[in-house]
Amino acid sequence: MPFEELSIRKVTLRPAHILAPMAGITDTVFRRFIKRLGGCGLIMTEFVSSEGMLRRNLKSERFLYYTEEERPISAQIFGAEPAHLAEAARMIEDLGFDMVDLNLGCPAKKVVKCGGSGLLRDLPLLGRIFHGIRGAVKIPFTVKIRSGWSDEEIVAVEVAKLAEDSGVEAIAVHPRTRLQGFSGRARWELIREVKQSVGIPVIGNGDVHKPEDARALFDQTGCDAVMIGRAAPTNPWMFRQLADYFSAGHYTEPTDADRYRLIRTYYQMLAEEEIPGAIGKMKQFASWFTHGVRNGADLRRRVQSANHPREVITLVDDFFAGPVTSPPLAEFPAPL
């Protein structure tokens, strides 16, 4: 069965479905939320600056907060200074994370200036970074890359071989270039080329919007795991649907009652945890979580005008008023 299980040394992903690290999205509340819905075998933090970690930046420390419920969990770091990245990786290990991951995929200008996909243009430096991090930690070390800087600079296979030779234990490939950003199609054939070129596990990422896409990704590339990014905020059931599809051949679409429980539970978690900027998160997620909800635009407008998290929860309750009731968090689906 595709993506049933993957072991990266002593860390077992069961199933081999991975929540991609996403800035502004994959905080501890969202990660636990996804785990409780089921079907996700590994979650990752938002990427964290190695420089911020060394300065003991409060924002970086907040990004690295996690609970035991979230295991197995990997922390993703970015930067461009080998010694600083190695020290940041040591800090990650000391914090008890199961794995550490290096971001070589972010296309944002402010990240590219000091790491991210910008490092794909300097393979000698990248080699020093790989060796530095590998020598600094005992936990599994993985990387996430793009295919290259541009169509004229496709380096996925070269970077994957360098990573393997340096002791990196798995590589996630998003087969778009830095210049593409998130436009155009993901070139899955590049994932296949990487898989055929190295012996370490290869994780496929990009253009997987529904379980059938994950099946096609496996069939076309032979990759060892699937990483879900932008589909997760719009369809948090995606991981459970993947598990159902691969085990039973079918999956269910969420009902309005399911969507109500999902929205309210996530908002309730944000409110109870007193997450900084919770009201902003609620407004951000409103457009994603109401996708497919009848008259969802009306709810989005109401949420955007709210000033307090509890007000948002009341708006959600009023919008879905009727036979649907929201269960307490204790009754929310437990992780697989």
Q: What are the residue numbers of the active site?
A: 106
**Six token digits for residue 101:** 């991951």
CA distance 124 to 116: 15
Structure tokens at 199: 């012996």
- Type of residue at 40: C
CA distance 78 to 119: 10
For the chain, give percent helix, strand, coil, nearest 5. 50, 15, 35
For residue 18 the two structure tokens come to 């991975």
Q: Which residues contact 332 (CB under 8 A, 6 or more apart)?
A: 36, 261, 265
Question: At which residue do the structure tokens 């970015």 appear?
Answer: 78
Residue 24's nearest CA partner among 1, 47, 7 is 47
**To the nearest 10°, the Cα dihedral for 226, 92, 72, 264?**
-90
Provide CB contacts within 8 A for 132, sequence distance 6+. Answer: 82, 83, 85, 86
Sort residue 322 into left (φ over 0), alpha (ψ -120 to 50) or beta. Answer: left
Q: Which helix (H) or strand (E) holds 12?
A: strand 11-13
Tell me how many helices (H) and strands (E) the chain has.
15, 11
Contact call for residues 130 and 163 (beta carbons, < 8 A) = yes
